[in-house]
Amino acid sequence: MAHVILGFLMIAPMSLYELVKAFESSVSLFYSASTGSIKRALDILRADGRIEAAAEHPGARGKKTYRLTDAGRRAFHDWLTAAPDGPDLETAALSRLFFLGLLAPDERAPVIERILGRIDGELAVLTAVDAQLKHMPVADEHRELVPYQRATLDYGLTGLRTARDWFGELLERERSGRV
C-alpha cells in the first residue's frame, strides 16, 4: 500500500481524504484500502522520511496535505522498476501498470518484461502441477471432488495465459510507441 500512496503523491500532494478518494475512484478494482490502513501507512511513510506534511490546516480535524520527499521519490522509483513481488501477482502487476506513465519512456518496457517474467514463472509452476495431476490416480471417494479441483487449476492456468497474452501485447505496443 505504501508504494501506491507514494505513486499518488508523485502525481500531486494530497490529504488523507484525497488519498482515500483516489483509491476509491481508481485502484479499488485491484487494490482495496480502508481509511485507517491508509492513515497508518501515511504515518509510517512520514516516520521513514518518505513523505512530509506539505501543509497543516488548522481546525478540529488537523487536516494535513502530504507530499513526497526525495527519499520517497527514490523509494517509489525503486519499487516501480523492481520485479513484482508478493503473493498476489495481479495486484503487484496492476499497481505497477497503473503508475507506469510516471517513468521515463525507456524505463517502461523493462517493467513490463519483469511482469511477464513473473507471469511465466507462475505459469510454469501451475503447468507442472497440471502435468503431474494428469498421471495421478484418483481414489473412489474423491471422484466427485477432483473435477472441480482440476477446474480450479484450469481457471488459474487460463488466467495466467490471458495475462501473459495481454502483457505481451502491451509490451509490443510499448516498444513500437503505440500505447
Residues 19 and 46 in one domain: yes
The DSSP line for 146-160 is HHHHHHHHHHHHHHH
Burial class of residue 96 (count of CB atoms within 10 Å of its CB; 0-12, 13-18, 19+): buried
Q: Which residue has the cell 525507456?
A: 106
Q: What is the pTM of this model?
A: 0.90
> Which residues, in sequence order, are CB contacts of 48 under 8 Å at separation 6+?
71
Same domain, 63 and 111: no
**Cα Dmax for the chain:** 70
**69 and 141 fall within a common domain:** no
Domain that holds residue 68: 2-81
- Give residue 29's pLDDT: 87
Residue 30, SS3 per DSSP: coil
- 81, 109, 124 - which closes a domain: 81
Domain presence at residue 89: no
The alpha-carbon radius of gyration of the chain (Å, integer) is 21
Residues 99 and 27 in one domain: no
Is 73 found in the same domain as 116?
no
DSSP, res 83 = P
Query: What is the count of structural domains for the chain?
Result: 2
Q: What does the pLDDT read at residue 58?
A: 67
Whether residue 90 is contained in a domain is answered as no
What digits encode the pLDDT tens for the residues 89-130?
Answer: 999 999 999 999 999 999 999 999 999 999 999 999 999 999
Residue 102 has a pLDDT of 98
Please indicate, yes or no, whether residues 8 and 74 belong to a single structural domain of this protein. yes
> What is the pLDDT at residue 172?
98
44 is a domain residue: yes
Strand partners, 19: none
Q: In CATH, what number is assigned to the domain containing residue 10? A: 1.10.10.10
Burial class (CB in 10 A: 0-12, 13-18, 19+), 116: middle
Quote the pLDDT of residue 10: 97
Domain membership of residue 86 (yes or no) is no
User: Percent of the chain, pLDDT > 90?
Assistant: 85
Q: Among 48, 81, 114, which residue terminates a domain? A: 81
In tens, the pLDDT along 5-33 reads 999 999 999 999 999 999 999 999 888 89
